[in-house]
Structure 1
């Protein structure tokens, strides 16, 4: 809180008033700062901004104890609603839509503050007059009414959800390219060129291009609209940890698990690539003097204890049609998940029964091991964990069909969730910050306290 001179038009006098700086929440999804600290120790001249951040003595946050409840869309819903999972009950990505749980976004707006959000995970746009709002790629909620937010939101969603098939439509590519021309900072041109030029050899760099673009879009919109509170969600680090954590330099030799060379060369370190980008982004936000900044991870990842393959259906609707399932719509979520909506509960139950009978290789393992029946919708996960080859078949009744043409390889799981996350704050926010090892929902409470909004 600062004291500033404000000219009062009614009295014609200058008055001293308290002024609260604007606040930015950077949701750096699932980054394990214990591993980041090891990178900083191994590389004395690299990551100067991350080193400075770590030296600022942030806090660790806690999440749910049950592993099934350790999902980023649960923890970010906790931050946004200021409630634990047991209190808000938002279990799936996209479930915030239609939920009655209030979020900090509309609560701050109702208190008279201007609010913006770029890709905040599992957040519903309930704002009456947002400074800007672009939803995450998986949640069915509208962008703000501006043309840029709408076309970029649609393009990013299509590119992310079809990433496993390396399929981006001409329209999405055009709008993303247009967005880069409009929003990319000149100082970042060289970084974009290096990432794009190397992405054919290093496919994980595509996620870094997206995070850098989201940062630049947020940076531009924040500077132009000047909201009191703004959120930016970045997911490349979580994506890379899940898929390439075994290759992290500090962890080499510490785990019995290694990625096969056809997947990624042992000499490559994708996590180092994303940390270099995040070091730049962190430096830009924490270098601002006009804002306070909160950086939080929601939860974090640690190395997985086994080898597990992830696949995604190529064309969800067509596959369901081949199973004889008709529906109102099918909506892909992150990686292996998708939501199917029906007119009636009977249709949903019939589809559930069909999906439950789809097995792989002589009926030993279900293709869809998780099918959550919600009445008129099903939330489904393609949970088959083994490598799918040309010889792998799926079974419907007595019929065997090749599975490989139906799916795209996504990744070999390298990282698993842990219940501890991390959070760091600029000095002006520190008096409001949660205590060490409090639940991550307390970050939301701290934001409301900062703005003196009733808790």
Structure 2
């Protein structure tokens, strides 16, 4: 039995990791790999079910998508099945869930702390009074990161700073943040700001880890997944027919390496914090690969509403409703009942540009899940037509491009799984490991009997040697 730290570094890619390690860029990742049972995981799904908010639910529950059926980001709380932290908490041991994607808990009686991911719409922090200032600030900042000025008041910043000062804010993080903001004065490098959020998250993670000493701690980061989605073309220009221009290459050529190196530094700090007697698991759930299918048409871009409420008024959607941004170009709408949602769905379907739909919309009872369906910049004078009497509006007056960049990374089924646990010799697993094996393996390493029947057993390459070592002791 060992305490477990589960590092959820979203979508880090096996081939990219191997390349950067071979080049000597990632000493902490190399150390962990060399000390671990190392495997490549299979996400078990193909598009449209190859999405991190689907795969992380599988990691946390042991259920395949066919069983958990959580399709959208933010829908995690709709699934009542227990997560690994629920099971460990029910066994009387402390847990610390820090940022895990599409998470949920069964009630508020969990033994420990929960800080949901920034896209969460159905789960609040536990305890809420302690984490609300941090959670609300980060959620607003992340959901509106594409804007020059996120909608935050001075009081929001003040509450956030007070929280950080009392929850582990390090001099290193302060120094890096000042250096980042100073560097942005040149007009370049704003994309690196996501790494500052990673540092802030780690300070909070370390603070509460040292306070709780939990049996299970999870720590989720997403910045490098974002870098891969937008800067893979700069990492490997030869893979693309559409080459980056010289200015973009100079700005973003090392963006993916930067992301991996920042996570390498956080891993090093985690290993120092964990010590030799704690199990450390690196799991990425899936990876990425070049997105080349749109190159002949100029690449794929994502567009987000400048003002979602204004867009809805233009479409003739009747109030009341609640808007919740999700990730990238997508957003949720909550209505009082299914009839109101159905009427709104019909109105949004009337939005067209050059005769084609502007939005992709899905309805589930009283909720709509929507996003811009335009993937190439329309002409400057291109007009959006709405049903009813509203005058057409220019596309550029209602939408703006995310990051002003062409997307160049897409998901891949292969992910990284490295497990360093006391008493188990390093090895490389040649078979492909299913994500469904991770939940029972984590429980076994924590010494908790599974209260549910998993579809797959714990990984024998890890658990059998660990059990033998425990019996010998």
- Measured against the shorter chain, the TM-score band is 0.7 to 0.9
Cα distance in 1 for residues equivalent to 2:109 and 2:430: 33
> What TM-score, normalized by structure 1, do the two folds share?
0.88
CA offset at residue 94 of structure 1?
1.0
Q: Tell me the equivalent position of 1:219.
A: 206
Aligned 8 A contact 1:373 1:379 in 2: yes
Instruction: Give the alignment partner of residue 370 of structure 2, picking from 356, 375, 380.
Output: 380
CA shift in 2, pair 1:359/1:432, >3 Å: farther
Unaligned runs of 5+ in 1: 1-19
Cα distance in 2 for residues equivalent to 1:304 and 1:63: 18
Cα distance in 2 for residues equivalent to 1:154 and 1:255: 39
Q: Tell me the equivalent position of 2:457.
A: none
Aligned 8 A contact 1:243 1:414 in 2: yes
Aligned 8 A contact 1:23 1:293 in 2: yes
CA shift in 2, pair 1:133/1:349, >3 Å: same
CA offset at residue 58 of structure 1?
1.4
Matched, 1:158 2:147: no
Cα distance in 2 for residues equivalent to 1:114 and 1:269: 40
Q: Tell me the equivalent position of 1:13.
A: none
Instruction: Give the alignment partner of residue 41 of structure 1, picking from 22, 30, 43.
Output: 22
Runs of 4+ with >4 A deviation: 260-264, 429-435
Q: Tell me the equivalent position of 1:277.
A: 262
SS of equivalent residue, structure 2 residue 264: helix
SS of equivalent residue, structure 1 residue 163: coil
Q: Tell me the equivalent position of 2:316.
A: 324
Matched, 1:63 2:46: no
Cα distance in 1 for residues equivalent to 2:423 and 2:197: 29
Q: Tell me the equivalent position of 1:453.
A: 449
Query: What value does the CA root-mean-square deviation take over the aligned residues?
Result: 2.4
Q: Tell me the equivalent position of 1:424.
A: 418
CA offset at residue 442 of structure 1?
1.5
Structure number with greater CO (CA < 8 Å, separation at least 6) is 2
Instruction: Give the alignment partner of residue 210 of structure 1, picking from 185, 197, 210.
Output: 197
Structure 1 or 2: more strand by fraction: 1
CA shift in 2, pair 1:267/1:204, >3 Å: closer
Structure 1 segment 347-362 matched on structure 2, within 5 A: 347-360=340-353, 362=354
CA shift in 2, pair 1:196/1:132, >3 Å: farther
Q: Tell me the equivalent position of 2:336.
A: 343
- Structure 1 window deviating more from structure 2 (62-71 vs 313-322): it is 313-322
Unaligned runs of 5+ in 2: 453-473
Q: Tell me the equivalent position of 1:4.
A: none
Structure 1 or 2: more helix by fraction: 2
Q: Tell me the equivalent position of 1:390.
A: 380
CA offset at residue 138 of structure 1?
1.0
Aligned 8 A contact 2:303 2:400 in 1: yes
CA offset at residue 243 of structure 1?
1.2
Cα distance in 1 for residues equivalent to 2:6 and 2:252: 35
